[in-house]
Every structure is written in structure tokens, then in C-alpha cells.
Amino acid sequence: MLTKRIIPCLDIKNGRTVKGVNFLNLRDAGDPVELAKKYALEGADELVFLDISATQEERETIYDLVYRVAEQINIPFTVGGGIASSDKVSKILNNGADKVSVNSAAVYNPQIVKEISDKFGAQCMVVAIDARHVDGQWLVHTHGGSKPTELELFSWAEKMEDMGAGEILFTSMDHDGTKEGFACEALAEMSSRLTIPVIASGGAGKMVDFKEVFTDGKADAGLAASIFHFNEIPIPELKSYLKEEGISVRI
């Protein structure tokens, strides 16, 4: 049985880690380099670093911060935000990241996913999808969740797999920051349609939420931010709980 992964997420704005609710009302959550080091020592399986304002501000990801984070950790490290070309991917990987995450750029140019996957390998290519449930269907949003599209979540995820994505990182905007549990029904539907791993994001608040996202949601990894940043759920305790509940995790 493949082990399930626990992944802290560093949402970065102006060089600091931030966290909000439903993508709004951001508050400071600490220094990303120190947090990354802490999570690696605590047993996080991977780390995700999202420069959440890079696309909106039409600028590149903060490469020096990527480098400083990578120096402090020994676990797989994914970087996203403002990535719209394979040249930027080279810079990010050269600064110590193991994977890149593409979100808005994939919507406007799906070919970028194939280009990155062909050049660097599908194992490097994570497609992040932010979606909200609107009038009975899940619709993809771009630019940090601020711009709705007409793309339907599940068919878009399938297209991204076909284009060469190695993983899908799905964030439910409706659940983000609410601490009321993941979008397990949507996650299970997505997992049933794809052959690549699905990372669940949005809604973690209690340890049981992770158990449910792995059992009911069929997710391969659970990603969270504020519960880790503000020491509400220590990663070692979470993993011990999941193991006791019969979930295969790396201790």
C-alpha cells in the first residue's frame, strides 16, 4: 500500500508566509525559511511553496527565497506562482525545488503543461486547480482564485493529466481556511477519473479530516497551512493518529 503524504503549504506574499479564509483576509503566519525547516524536522513528507501574488502582480517567483528554503530541507519541495514558461522552471529547479506547480498559466496556455512535462519529466509537473462550487458544478478559478472561468473541474483535471501532469493539487475555495473538512465528495470523484495522484487542499481543521480525506476522499496527499503554521495540529501527532486509524503513513 502506498503511504499517504502530509504536506504543509507555505503561501507567500511579500516574502512572508500568509494565510486567510476562502482566499481572503490574509494574516501573517511567519518566516517561510524557519517554517520550512521546522516542518522537515517534524516529519512532513513534502513541502509546497506558493507565491500567491506572483500571477496577479505579473512578476516572477522569488528565486532567492526558493533557494533559502531549499537549503534548509531534505524533503521534496514544490514551487508555484507566476510560472508561465519552461525557462522559469529551469531557474526554480536550479534554485533547489524538485517540482513546479502551474495554475493560471495552464488555463491560458494548456500546452505549457506538456512542454514542462516533456522537458523535465511528469514527476516535476504539478497542476494546481482552484475551484468553487457554483450553481451545481465545480468551476475552475485563476489568479489566486480571483477570476472565475467556464472550465469544469473534473474534465479540466482529466485534460491536465492527458497533457502530462504528474499530480493534481486541488484546492476547494469553498473549504479553504474554514477548518470544516476537505471537499471529500469532489476529491473522490476526481480520484476515480484520474490515474495520477491527487493532493487535497482546503478545509483541514481536525485530525479526523485527514483520515476522511484519505478514506472517503481517496486522496493521495493532504495539504494544509494554518493548522500547522499556528501549531494547532503538530505533524508527528497527526501521523501517529493516522497510523492508529489504519492509514499508511511514513513515521
Report the 10 Å Cβ neighbour count for 14: 8
- Cα dist. 39→4, 42, 80, 244 in Å? 16, 5, 18, 21
Label residues 133-172 b or e (16+ Cβ within 10 Å = b): eeeeebbbbbebbeeeeebebbebbbebbebbbbbbbbbb
157: three-class secondary structure by DSSP: helix
Report the 10 Å Cβ neighbour count for 198: 23
Contact of 218 with 185, CB cutoff 8 Å:
no
For residue 174, give the DSSP letter.
T
Annotated catalytic residue 45: no
Helix (H) / strand (E) containing 68? helix 63-72
Contact of 129 with 161, CB cutoff 8 Å:
no
Helix (H) / strand (E) containing 32? helix 32-42
Annotated catalytic residue 118: no
- 11, 45, 209, 220: the active-site residue: 11
- 45, 51, 130, 176: the active-site residue: 130
Report the 10 Å Cβ neighbour count for 248: 11
Q: Which residues carry out catalysis?
A: 11, 130
